[in-house]
Structure 1
């Protein structure tokens, strides 16, 4: 019996050559619509699916292949005599090869002016049905959704007159991976169109691989970087690498942390952020990006070495000269001046990332996910800072205008310090940061130690409330003049009393920012 293939693809890469090879191997090729036209225009003999089904395409092409003459040919098990008898009785020819890729739903929804109607029209129906049917019957049918597999199928047919069981099984697996991603994209898009932000009972998302990595957090761990599908021009996944070796797992994690801090400051004032091990180690705001970077550097010259720097202004020559003086893993900025690139590209290993929209804020629909053994924790991103109407001064002394300015600065920073987190700031720069301690007083002591002489006259931010008055007492000894914290401890009055006795102004925000 003559072998039969059905070809119907949106991505027509390699399809003409594939069809020509199949015809040369004695296949009858069935096709539809644009694929049939591409093949006939190339001078190939093609049988239209309508000629097989005896039923014309209808509903603007929505119905073409949904017919027993096609699906029986795909699903019939060759080893089942009853199936084969029924095919003969019904006049159905088995289909041995199915090469289909689906309507370009992803490409459609990524268009800036896409309408819901356009998106819906690009949801494929017949394609997924056929490839799932072929994958289910993988013992007898070779199903191809990826043009890179065409050559492998042709080679095996030429060598042995069939496709090996191992290859057919692998191809079937790719189908279900393909359709799962396709349906997840549709679900995610429609959920966003409905404006749903609550956590669904069944959670599905899909990502596409950006790169494999040499290793993960440690050399014995395999790793890869995947990108969320969608228009996220302000995320690391959209950055253009201008120079340097491939990003590592830790590079990406740390650079993401740097962007998160930078976004708190927007683009109104030149701002520089230094990050080490996903924690801010220096943040500065200045009149120029050079001044901002120097403040960030001077915040902690030791920790910033080997770290990541994010800037919300293009890197100029003066700033590049300073950046080049120390070892940095990554510099990420909206752009780099030509003379700045010339300076920085002399450093072989530094990664330079260009991200024009890096200061654009994140939105709550950009979910925060943390994999745990046997499950997944999902939450909205922490995109809020505070509610101005909830801020209250709980001490007798009110903050001065300058203290208030510095308290708002430090609150933006401490939000992104791993809990228990403390940050100290003055003159629009951090002077000490104490991240990730198992108790708050140790975090403060660490921040004071890092700050040294710069701590006197600074303000303090704490990501959560003080359980005891010890942090206020330590702040007094160090010369800290004002504090911002969420409040909410059953011992708040102890801390308020200690602040009043020390002459320290203290604000409660009513909003905590745990970051684990």
Structure 2
């Protein structure tokens, strides 16, 4: 299959070929590009694995080969319902799962690639119609959903149907600068049983285990180094692609804090006159006290005291890491954002210091049996 172009428009000759007898997807509408397929294939694997691990509909909002958010079905944060002029009672489980994933970092999700683990219905398709997105991949579409999505962007919107029975080859190859590298494919599924049995400090409730496994699965398909904060079946904030783990932890913490702040009712009321992405942009500006973004509304922005109070009252957050935590500073940074449980691989020479700090701060620590690097 010929693609629109390669990684960049100045790479005009690009195509995709199956390794075996077929591709793992069919094109329903639109024409894929190189990055579209990188996002779609990573995102599809993520939601398929997350659905299997949790037994619930899973979705991700994917952007530049990493997830901006991951979630299973549940209540959608009110600020996004405001922006899309909808309500929870109008949403099917698959629509709710996607909107929850998009609500994690709605600025990053602008122009995302969507993946959902279940059949896309009319409810989900109508929400996708409202947002700025490059494409979607799912195992199936109702007739009405297919009609809605195939009309988006005058038929240019990319709709892919994944083959849920497709299994990849046991080995994979990558070529770079005239070198072909071959390795075993990382196809072992992550489950609560396989990853979260080694509780080293504290105790871990069942709902926390769901949040931890979602975080680990998200990191399996996120550019390393990476960490994630999760709560209530939603991966809220991801720090990815940084050279130091503490930088990932701080970056994701800032995203989590902002996600909490933009839900403040006063600034939601102030932003009510705006629509869609403009409303979200104003919410961010009001939450962060951005004088350039708020204009005459700066007096309505959150104060430093309000922001600090929201963080101080945050609890029940889970934290996951794709590699071991080399220093206890990651624990201390994560603790600022209401983290009560951590899951990460062990193997650092400073593991004991990390475990001790978790005990001092009342954080449960689960040692996972593998690392989750993705490049």
TM-score relative to the length of structure 1: 0.55
| 1:274 aligned partner | 61
| 1:480 aligned partner | 339
| 1:224 aligned partner | 14
Residue from 7, 16, 26 that aligns with 1:240: 26
CA distance in structure 1 between the partners assigned to 2:148 and 2:371 by the alignment: 42
Residue from 130, 135, 158 that aligns with 1:351: 158
Does the 8 Å CA contact 2:67/2:221 hold for their aligned counterparts? yes
| 2:186 aligned partner | 382
| 2:199 aligned partner | 393
Q: Mark the CA change 1:366 to 1:514 in structure 2 (over 3 Å): closer, same or farther.
A: same
Q: CA deviation at 1:308?
A: 0.5
CA distance in structure 2 between the partners assigned to 1:251 and 1:283 by the alignment: 18
* Equivalences for residues 271-350 of structure 1 within 5 A: 271-286=58-73, 288-348=93-153, 349-350=156-157
Q: Secondary structure at the match of 1:225?
A: coil
1:410 counterpart = 2:215? yes
| 2:44 aligned partner | 259
Does the 8 Å CA contact 2:256/2:337 hold for their aligned counterparts? no
- Unmatched 5+ stretches in structure 1: 1-209
* Equivalences for residues 111-260 of structure 1 within 5 A: 210-211=1-2, 213-231=3-21, 237-244=23-30, 246-260=31-45
Q: Secondary structure at the match of 1:319?
A: helix
Q: CA deviation at 1:429?
A: 0.9
Does the 8 Å CA contact 2:317/2:337 hold for their aligned counterparts? no
| 1:373 aligned partner | 177
CA distance in structure 2 between the partners assigned to 1:258 and 1:481 by the alignment: 28
How many pairs does the alignment contain? 297
* Equivalences for residues 439-450 of structure 1 within 5 A: 439-450=244-255
Q: CA deviation at 1:297?
A: 1.5
Q: Secondary structure at the match of 1:377?
A: strand
Describe the superposition over 1:280-328 as per-residue Cα deviations: whole angstroms up to 9, x where unpaired. Answer: 1111111621221121111221111111001121111111111111111
TM-score relative to the length of structure 2: 0.74
- Unmatched 5+ stretches in structure 2: 75-92, 261-310
Residue from 501, 508, 512 that aligns with 2:360: 501
CA distance in structure 1 between the partners assigned to 2:166 and 2:208 by the alignment: 26
Describe the superposition over 1:197-219 as per-residue Cα deviations: whole angstroms up to 9, x where unpaired. Answer: xxxxxxxxxxxxx22x3431122
Does the 8 Å CA contact 2:4/2:32 hold for their aligned counterparts? no
CA distance in structure 2 between the partners assigned to 1:439 and 1:293 by the alignment: 30
CA distance in structure 2 between the partners assigned to 1:483 and 1:339 by the alignment: 42
Supply the RMSD in Å over aligned alpha carbons: 2.1
